[in-house]
Amino acid sequence: MTKEEPKSENAEEKTTPVNKTIIKVAEEKPDETEVKIEDILKVLYSLQQIDSQVDKIRIIRGELPLEVQDLEDEIVGLETRLANYNSDVEKYKTQTAEKENLKKECQTLIDKYEKQRNNVRNNREYDSLTKEIEFQSLEMQLCDKRIKEFSTALEKINIDIEVSQTNLDERKNDLELKTSELQDIVEETEKEENELLKKSEINQQSIESRLLIAYKRIRKNARNGLAVVMVERDACGGCFNKIPPQHQLDIRMHKKIIVCEYCGRILIDQGIADEVNESLLQ
């Protein structure tokens, strides 16, 4: 059997620096993650502040864009209705003219048959011509009935046309006023809104796509458009439900993104909010 050689002191010294290095790296990783999460939270809150300013500008416009759209749709509807009315008027006029022409033809035939009846040779021819005269007379009466119906329909349509035309003129005047009012507001706020939208786009580029989609989804579902809110008086700044102390500690540690368990909004602490607000004021 061979004797085991004792481990040299140099071998022990070689392993010690390696172990220290591993520990050092393991300690540094959480710090890098912490800084990264903190930066992400700052960008998210900054984006929220910018988007909220855009929301305020659009609130100033109020319901005007919707009112303008509604008026435009109503005007299109009234114009279509008037076009249909005018088409019906032309149709009834054409049908009335046809019935008038048919009456003239019937009268011509009646005159013809009456002359022939005066020169008949037997009762059979007389009865036959009499029946033709009666038939043409009934045809004329039917034409008169149809002409009267067309005339009544035309009167009703003309009233509807007058009412619709009045409404159309009023709506066009309303649209002109609303459009002018909206244009004035847009001109006042357009420059500021475009600048904010550019800032919003720049901030969005520095956010991971998955997180950005989540942010937009929360904003869309939130009534006030707030996706990132600060913890105020131990409660969520969005839904105002109490936040457990442990969650508040996690939020202040900036080690991970914390969302409200009630409304799903992303939560931040006072420190991040203050830093972002100061940077936006500069």
Determine the pLDDT at residue 3.
44
Looking at per-residue pLDDT, the higher value among 185 and 155 belongs to: 155
pLDDT tens figures, 166-224: 999 999 999 999 998 888 888 878 888 888 888 888 888 888 889 899 999 999 988 88
Packing angle between helix 270-281 and helix 9-61, nearest 10 degrees?
60
Q: What pTM was computed for the model?
A: 0.52
Nearest to 266 by CA among 85, 63, 41: 41
Cβ neighbours of residue 83 under 8 Å, at least 6 residues apart?
Answer: none
Task: Give 282's pLDDT tier (boundaries 50, 70, 90).
Answer: low
Question: What letter would DSSP give residue 53?
Answer: H
**What is the mean predicted confidence (pLDDT) over 231-244?**
92
pLDDT tens figures, 55-112: 888 887 777 888 899 999 999 999 999 999 999 999 999 999 999 999 999 999 999 9
**Domains, the chain, with CATH or none:** 55-206 (1.10.287.1490), 208-282 (no CATH)
pLDDT tens figures, 241-278: 999 999 899 998 988 899 999 999 999 999 999 988 88
